[in-house]
Chain A
Amino acid sequence: MHFRVEVELITGFISSGKTKFINYLLDETWIEGERILIIQCEKGNTEIMYNSANNCIHKKSLSSEEGLSINKIKSLIALYSPHRIIIEQNGTENIEGLLDLFSSKELIKLCTITTIFHMIDGATYDIFYNNMASILIPALSMSNMILINNTNSISKATISKIKNSIEKKNLDGFIIVISDINRLKEELPGDKLLDKGLLKKVRFFFKNI
C-alpha cells in the first residue's frame, strides 16, 4: 500500500532546544515498528539519544557545507524506507529553501510535511529576533507549534511580550511556554497535542498491511 513519508521539521536558532525536543519526540511518539530517519543539519551540544539496538531509528548528520537536495532526500528514502523523517533545520538558514524542496514535483509524491515546530530560547528572543529577522521570522510564521523555552530565566512580563510578538507573526500556531527544556515530559501536555497513542497506532496499522 502506497503511503507518503511524514516529515516533521524542527526549526529554531542554535541552542534553542531543537535536539532535546527531538529526543522528547522520539520518546513520546515512536511506536513499535515505525522506521524513523533523523536528519541533522546542525550539530549542537546535545546528542540525539535513541536505543541503538532499535534498528528502526537512524540518524544522518549533514555538515554546514552539505545541503539537502531533492536527490539526496530521494536516495535517503530509498535507503531507509522510513515512515517518518524528522529534520533538525540549520537555524542560520531560511526555512524557505527546505519548503521549496518538499513542494517540488518529485518530492511531493514521496513525502508530506505534517508538522513544523519552532523552538525559541526566551532569554535571547529579543536580541535574536530583532537582529536576525529575515532568517528567523519565516520559520516562526510557518510553524504549527512554537515552544518558548528557558522561561525560568525571564520575567512573566517578558514572557507575555514574547507571546504577543509571536502572535503578530503567526496567526494560528500553538504557543507553549516551557520553563526548563530538561523537563519537557513533565511540562508538555503531550497527550493532547502530539500525534501519538491509539489514533496513531491505527493509522500505522493500515499503512503496514
Chain B
Amino acid sequence: MAIQLDVFSGFLGSGKTTLIKKLIEERIYNAKAVIIENEFGEVSVDGKILKDSNLNVKELSSGCICCSLSGDFKKAIQEVIEKYSPERIIIEPSGVGKLSDILKVVKESELRSVINLNMLITIVDGLKFHLYLANFGDFYKNQIANCKTVIISRSQMLSEKKLIEISKEIVKINASANIVTTPWDKLSGSNIVDAAEQRDIILNKVNIIKKPQNIGVLRKESAGSARDVFDSWGFESPRIFNRSTLEKILPRLENTIFGNVVRAKGIVKTGQDTWIQFDYVPGEFEVKATSPDYATRICVIGTELNKGSLSQLFSD
C-alpha cells in the first residue's frame, strides 16, 4: 500500500510544528509515522510526545536553505522508508524553501510509485501576511500556490474583515486551495484533516431534513450521484452571517435569477463563537447549532445555476 505523505509548509514561525504537535496529541497520527524535519524553531516535537505516540523523527542537516534541495530530501525519504517501513511520512521543510521543489522530488523520482501525496498544507501567519507578501521573494508565493490547503495561524487575533482580505489575496495566488480561517483552538485535529484531505463533506454531512424528496436521485445522500445530475456551487469564507441575515438570504434562492435551486446546505459562523448548520429546500429550511468548522461553507445544488449571482448574494 502506498505511503501517505503529508507536507507542512510555511515560513519560519508560522506554526508548522505547533500544528503537527496538535495532530499528534489528538491521535491523528497513530499509525506508524515518521517526521522529517528541516527546520529548527522555537517549538519542537519533543521526546515525551514522540514516545507516547509511536513516532520517529529524522532531522536533516543544519537547516541551511540549500539542504532543502532535491538530493537531500530524496535521500532522507528513502532512508526513512528503509529503516522504519512507515505508513505515513510527515515532512516539515525549510521555511524559506519552495514547495514546488519538494513536490518535484516526490512526483518525478522513483518515489512516486511508493508515495501518495496526501495533505499539502501551507501555514500562513495572518498577522504578518501582508508584510511578508510585499517583501519576500518567490518562495513565499510558491508555498501558497502549490499547496492544497492554506491554514491561517493567529486568526484569533484578526478581525473578520482582515481575514476576508487575506483570503482574497490567497485566492489570487491559489484559486483551488481551501482556506482554513477559524482559530485553531476552536477546531479539532480531525476538522483540519478533513479539510486538508479534501473530503467534500458538506454534501454528505449536513442532512437534517429527512422528508422524502420527489426527485429520486436525491434520496441517496452520496455526493457522487447528486453530481451526476445536478450542478453545484460552493462558497467558503471567514465571513460571519448572523441568523437573521441567513433567514433573509435563503428564501431568496427561490428566485429564478439564481437558476433552479433544489437544495442548499451549509455550516455557517453566526457569531464570535457560534456556528450553525442549515439545510434548505425551496419553501423551508432548518437550522441546528453545531461545532465550529474550518470556515463558513455553503453549497448550493440545482440546475442551470447562475454562479455569478450566487457569489454576489453571499458576498454582500
Q: Which residues of A contact B (CB under 8 A)?
A: 14-15, 42-45, 64, 90-92, 124, 126-128, 130-135
Contacts and interface: CB of A to CB of B under 8 A. Distances in A.
B42 interface: yes
Contacts of A90: 135
B266 interface: no
Contacts of B42: 126-127
Interface of B: 12-13, 39-42, 62-66, 94-96, 128, 131-132, 134-137
B137 A134 contact: no
Contacts of A15: 128, 131
Contact of B66 (A43, A127, A134): A134
What are the 3 tightest A-B residue pairs by CB atom distance, in nearest-first order?
Answer: A131-B63, A127-B41, A42-B135
Contact of B135 (A14, A124, A130): A14
A168 B65 CA distance: 21
A92 B133 CA distance: 12
A125 to B, nearest CB: 11
B64 A14 contact: no
Nearest to A126: B42
B65 A134 contact: yes
A92 B135 contact: yes
B65 A132 contact: yes
Nearest to A127: B41
A135 B64 CA distance: 9
Contacts of B39: 131
Grouping DSSP codes into helix (H, G, I), strand (E, B) and loop, the A interface class, with mixed when no group exceeds half, is loop
B163 to A, nearest CB: 19
Given A124-B12, A131-B41, A135-B96, 12 more contacts: A44-B131, A64-B135, A64-B137, A92-B136, A124-B13, A127-B13, A127-B42, A128-B12, A132-B96, A133-B62, A134-B66, A135-B65
A120 B137 CA distance: 20
Residue among A44, A126, A131 facing the most chain B CB atoms (10 A cut-off): A131
Contacts of B64: 133-134
A124 B40 CA distance: 12
A64 B66 contact: no
Contacts of B95: 131-132
B127 to A, nearest CB: 11
Nearest to A45: B131
B62 to A, nearest CB: 7
A133 B132 contact: no
A90 B140 CA distance: 15
A127 B14 CA distance: 11
Given A132-B96, A134-B64, A135-B65, A127 B12 contact: yes
Nearest to B139: A92
A172 B109 CA distance: 48
Contacts of B131: 14-15, 44-45
Contacts of A135: 65, 96
A132 B135 contact: no
Nearest to B96: A132
B40 A43 contact: no
A63 to B, nearest CB: 8
Nearest to A90: B135
Contacts of B62: 130, 133
Contacts of B13: 124, 127
A130 B137 contact: no
Nearest to B43: A127
A133 B135 contact: no
11 contacts: A15-B131, A43-B134, A64-B137, A91-B135, A92-B96, A124-B13, A127-B13, A127-B40, A131-B39, A131-B41, A131-B94
Contacts of A132: 12, 65, 95-96
A51 B42 CA distance: 41
Given A15-B131, A130-B63, A64 B94 contact: no
A133 B63 contact: yes
Contacts of B96: 92, 131-132, 135
Contacts of A64: 134-137
Contacts of A43: 134-135
A124 to B, nearest CB: 7
Contacts of A127: 12-13, 40-42
B41 A14 contact: no
Contacts of A128: 12
B18 to A, nearest CB: 13
Contacts of A134: 64-66
A149 B135 CA distance: 21
A161 to B, nearest CB: 14
